[in-house]
Structure 1
Amino acid sequence: MKTNKDDIKSYFDQEYIENKLGYKSSFEEHFDRNFQEWSYDLSLGDEIYITSEEQPRILSETDPYVTIKPGDFALLITYERLKLTKNVMAFISVRFKYKKQGLINISGFHVDPNYEGRIIFSVYNAGPHDILLKYKDPVFMIFFEELEGNVYKEKKGYNCIPSEMISEIKGQSITLAKNHQKIEKLEYAMKLYGGIGVAIMAALIGILLKSG
């Protein structure tokens, strides 16, 4: 496992991150905040798609929050852009802070050597409550592993969430909560109409007895 701070810095596209940070900060400050000695916390990027919404959403400093409801699938992209070398791969995950709320990573768990680009996470809220995320907050984690040999196959990376990914998960998802609501409505209807039916039957029996 790679733990050297300078080595890990080299796996990020520093110029890209500097351009995004602008004058407010620098890559060094951003890196030091998220560096965890053996791992690095990746921040939430500006683009997100949630299945319960019609269109992708763009987060910003003035509109930084997004809510993933129970049962929703979402596509999230990292703020950082990677530039891995031929002999280094990486493992990725959602941070425990969000895992314990029910946010599950259902996409891949590793990044191939030579990958250049931002990372897209496909996630699912399996918890009972809404999960609130904020732009640029550390939501994911990554750690790097050095290989014994080199891998020469180039890996296409992402700078945004492609439309085909959105099309693959677009549409409402069926959740346990939604099914529970449907069952409750069905039970209520059965009780209501069942009670009416019993009352009608009792009235008919009463009429028949009187006429007899």
Structure 2
Amino acid sequence: MILSDKTILDYIKSSKIIVEPFDESSLQCSSLDLRLSNSIAFYEELDIIDIKSPIQAKTVTFEEYFIINPGEFLLASTMEYIKLPEFITAFVEGRSSLGRLGLFIENAGWVDAGFEGQITLELYNANKYPIKLYKGMRICQLVFAKLDEIPSKVYRGKYLCQKGATPSKIFMDFDKK
């Protein structure tokens, strides 16, 4: 069941869902708009990405805005730090107004029950023009859904409590026994 604005607000006010900082004007009828932080990361020139090895990414912060060039892929982060209870999951959806400019947001847009942290966004500019993005702008929407029952496992993965634009840690999948 997708949560309505009333339920989202009730869960935030009762601390069942944590959103810091919370801006009530970001609440939509069935979602919560999240804002762009000042943290971005990108992969520098590589011959090949070996997913079994740690991948170096350059993380930078910006003051007011950054420009994503045509055909460029980078990671960004939400300003908000989210904490979901064990009975709520969420979907990250790009804003349609940005999609209409050719900005693809959130290739991996699932937030598991129990997740805590800032949400890393995957951004790709499919337009033939550079796009200027501003710190604090509404960048995506979080749609909350209630699980039919408490899961046997909640999220305790490698991105738990992440802050800022967090590069891939897929290499850690190969360390599992």
Common fold, TM-score beyond 0.5? yes
1:165 aligns with 2:168: yes
Given candidates 7, 12, 36, the residue that maps to 2:18 is 12
Aligned counterparts, 1:8-157, within 5 A: 8=12, 10=15, 11-14=17-20, 17=21, 27=22, 31-50=23-42, 55-59=58-62, 63-105=63-105, 107-151=107-151, 152-155=153-156, 156-157=160-161
Conservation of the 8 A alpha-carbon contact between 2:44 and 2:58: no
What secondary structure sits across from 1:153 in the alignment? coil
User: Helix, strand or coil: the match of 2:91?
Assistant: strand
Uncovered stretches (5+) of structure 2, i.e. residues with no partner: 46-56, 172-177
Aligned residue number for residue 48 of structure 2: none
Query: Which one-letter code corresponds to 2:121 in the other structure?
Result: F
Larger RCO (alpha carbons 8 Å, 6+ apart):
2
**Matched residues in 2 for 1:140 and 1:96: separation?**
9
Structure 2 Cα separation of the partners of residues 91 and 75 of structure 1: 17
TM-aligned CA deviation for residue 6 of structure 1: 1.6
Are the counterparts in 2 of residues 87 and 150 from structure 1 also a CA contact under 8 Å? yes
Does the CA contact (< 8 Å) of 1:50 and 1:68 recur in 2?
Answer: no
CA distance in 2, matches of 1:69, 1:100: 16
Q: Which has the higher strand share?
A: 2
TM-superposed deviation, 1:56: 2.6
Give secondary structure in 2 for the equivalent of 1:7: helix
SS at match of 2:18: coil
CA contact (8 A) 1:2 1:8 kept: no
- 1:161 deviates by 3.0
Distance in 2 between the 1:147 and 1:135 partners?
33
- Could you say which structure has the higher helix fraction? 1
Structure 2: distance between partners of 1:105 and 1:134: 15
Letter of the 2:18 partner, please give it. F
Q: How many residues align?
A: 149
Structure 1 residues 78 and 106, CA, compared in 2 at 3 Å: closer, same or farther?
closer
